[in-house]
Chains A and B, each alone.
Chain A
Amino acid sequence: MGRTLWPLFVVVGLLRSLALPGAPSPVTGAIRGRVDVRAAAAPPEGRPDPGGLGMAAPREPLDRRRSVVYLETAPRAAFEVNEERRVRMTQQHERFVPHVLAIVAGTWVDFPNNDRTYHNVFSLSKAKDFNLGRYAAGKSKAVRFERPGIVRVFCDIHSHMSAFILVFAHRYFAVTDDEGRYRLDGIPPGSYTVLVWNETVRGDPPRRTVTIGESGGDVDADFSIR
C-alpha cells in the first residue's frame, strides 16, 4: 500500500507547503475597528453573605466592556500553529486577571495564586472541564486547552470570581483594548465574517462581512453593543 500511495503523499505535501506560514505571502490585509460596549463597569457579583460576621473587602470593578473580535472562518494557514504557547491568568485580589483571555487551541494557561488565601480554579464547560483543587499563595497550576470553545472559569471558594477563556482553532482573533479598539493582522485577500463576543451579549453575537481586497490594506469594522 505504501508503494502505490507514496506519490499522492508527495503531491499533498507540496500543496500544504504552499500554505505554510513560512511560505511567502504576496499580499495580506488587516481588519481594525472599535467595539463600543455600553455595559457599565460594576463590582463583581458576590452572593449576599448573611452568614458573615463582617464586611467583605472592597472589590475592584469588573470591566465587562472587554470583547473578543474574531473571524468566523479563517484562511487555511491560520490553522498551522506549531509552537507551544503559554499564557497566564492570575488570581489576584479575588479576581482573575485578565477577566477575558483569548487563546489558540493547544495553549497552556498558568493559573498562579497571588493572593494570601486559597483559591480553587475550576470549570465545568464543555470545551474543557477541570478542577485544580485548592492551592496557596505563590503556587501555580496549568491547564492545556485543546478544544475550541468558550470556557467559563470559576473559583470554588469565592463565588464572585469568574473569567472567560475563548479557545480558537485559528489565530485570527483579538481582545479589545481599554478603548475598545482591536486589530486583526495578516489576513489574506478574501471575504470574511467578523464576529464579536462580549459577556453581556445574549444570543447571536454581532457580525459583519468584511472584504480584504486583492491589494490588501486595512479595512475598518466598528461594532456597537447595547
Chain B
Amino acid sequence: MKQLGQFLTNSWTLGALAIALAIGASYADTGTVQMWSFVVINILLAQSINLLTGINGQISLGHAGFFAIGAYTSAIVLKSWGVPFPIAVALAGGLAAVVGYLLAGPAGRVREFYLAMMSLAFGLIVYELARELRGVTGGVMGMRGIPSSQIGTLQIFGWTIDTITYFRILLAVLIVAMLMLRNFVKSHYGRAFYAVHVSEIAAGSLGISQAATKRAAYAISGGLAGLAGGFYAHMIGYLTPESFGLMRSVEILVMSIVGGLGSLAGQAFGAILFTYLPQKLQAFNDYQYIVYGLILVFIFTLLPKGLAGLLKTQTRYSKFDQLKGMDSGAAVAPLSIKRGDEGGDADTPLVRIENIKMEFSGLRALAGVSLDLYRGRITALVGPNGSGKSTLVNVVSGIYTPTAGSIHYKGQDIAGWPAHRVAQAGITRTFQDPRNVPSFTVRENILMGAHRRYRHSAIAAALNTPQAKREERDFLLRVDALMRAAGLLDYADTIMSELPYGIQRLAEVARALASDPELLFLDEPAAGLSEVESGLLAALIRLARDHGVATMIIDHHMDFLAELAEEVIVFEAGEEIYRGDMDGMRANPAVIQAYLGVEELAHA
C-alpha cells in the first residue's frame, strides 16, 4: 500500500498526469472535460478546508459561504463592471480572504467549537443573504448571463475561452496552488499552523501567536475557497443560492475528511470520489443527506486519516527531502555566541526580576521575589511542592501576568507581555511534561524551535525563493548539529510519539536551544531520565552555557543539579529562603526545615 501511495503522490507522476489531462482534453467530449473541471474546483475547495481544519485545526461548517462570496463577487464585477476575468477572480479570492480574516476575530479568545458554531451561522447567513438581496444576487431566481466558458461568452483581452481552454487554465491554477500550498506547509509557517492546532501553549513558548496564526489560516482558506467560487461562476454561467447551502458546506467537509485531513494529496482523492459518486449513483443523489450523515458520524472512529491514511501518504512538515543534497560541507554551530550589550561590565545581569508578586483569587503563590540572571551562568531553583517555582517561570515566560513587580530584560519591562512576545524576544522555556508535537519527527520538532529566527515571508515560503531555501537549509543544518550534540541523530526522522519518554525530553530541550535563546528556563527537565539521558541533558545545558545563554533550571534531582549549577536558590511558600551554593544549601537549617521538618530528625 505504501508504495502505491508513494507512487500516486510522486511529483513526476502527478506532473505526467497533468500533462496527459491537458492534452487529452482536446480529444475528450465536452461533458467529460466539464466533469474534470468540476473535479479541479472541488480539489481547490477541499484544499481550503485541509489548510484550515486539517492543519490548523479549526473546523469550518459553513465554507460554502466563502465559495458563494467568491462566485457572486467575480460574476458581478465582470458582468456589471467589465473587470477582466483574471482580475475578477483574484478579487473574488481577495474579498473572501478579508471576510475570513474578520470572521476569525474571536479566535484565540474562545475554544474551537465556538468558532465552529460561528462558521455554521456564517454559512447560513450568506445563503440567506444570497436569497434575499435580489438586487445584488438575483435572489432565488438566480443570476444569469454571467460570461462563461460553457456558452463561449467568456473572453480575456479579446480571446474567447472555450471549455477546453478553461479546463487547462483551471489545471494550471490548481498546480500552482498546490505547489504553493506544499511549500507553505513545509515551511515554518506550516509548522506554526499545525503546532497551534496540536499544542497551543508550546507554540506560544516558541514565539507563535495562536490568534494571529488562526486568523491567517482563516484568511488563506477563505481566499482559496473564494477563488474556487470565482472559477465556478465563469464555468457554468449562472448562479443560484441553492448551490451554496448547507449541503455544499457538508459536501466540502466530507470530501476533505474522507480524503484525509492533513494530506495534500488526500484532498485530490476525496474530491475525485465525491465529484463522480453523485453522477454515477442516482441512489446516492437521493440519499445524499443520509450518506453524508453516516460518513460524518463514523469517519473519525473508522478511518481517522481518510483515504490518505490507507495509502500512508502523509505530508511532512519540513523541506528536508527537498534540500538533502544541498550540504555545504562546512560544520555549523548549533547556537550563536551571546555577548552582552546591556551596557556596563560583564556583571550586568541579563534579566532583573524585581519584587514579583503573584496572587490567584486569594491564594498567594509568589510573595515578592527578586533575582538576577546572568549570561553564561546556570542557576538552580528548588523548593518543595507548591513553593512557587513553576509559577515564577510562568510569570516570566508570559503565561501569567504578575499581580505586582517588574521584569527588566534588555531595557524593557516585560512583565505582562503575552507568551509569544516573550519568546520572540529571546526567552525560551520547557515544560514539566515535554510538549512536543506528537506526529512530527524529531527533526521537525527541533526545527520548530527555530521559528522566531526565520526572516522570510509567507509568499517567499510558498514560492520557495532562493532566500527561503537558503534559510531553511541553514536551520536544518543547525538542527543536525543540535541533534548530534543531544545524541538524537539516530532518531532524526522517527515520529515523536513512537519514542520513549527520555528521547522526547531531550528533543524538547534541543528544540528550546534551536530558538537560540538568550535566557532559558528548564522546568523539571531531569524527571524520569535514565543515567545516560541525564548525562546528555547535562551536556546540552553546558553547551548553552558555553555559548553565553543565561539558564535557570527547576528540578528536584539534587545530584543532577550539583553537577551543573553555580548557584542555587531555594523557594518556600512563594519566598526565597536561601541563595548560595549546593553544599551550603544542604547544611542550611531553613532549607532542611522546609523539606524535611527539623524537630525529630538529627542530621549527620
Does B bind A?
A: no
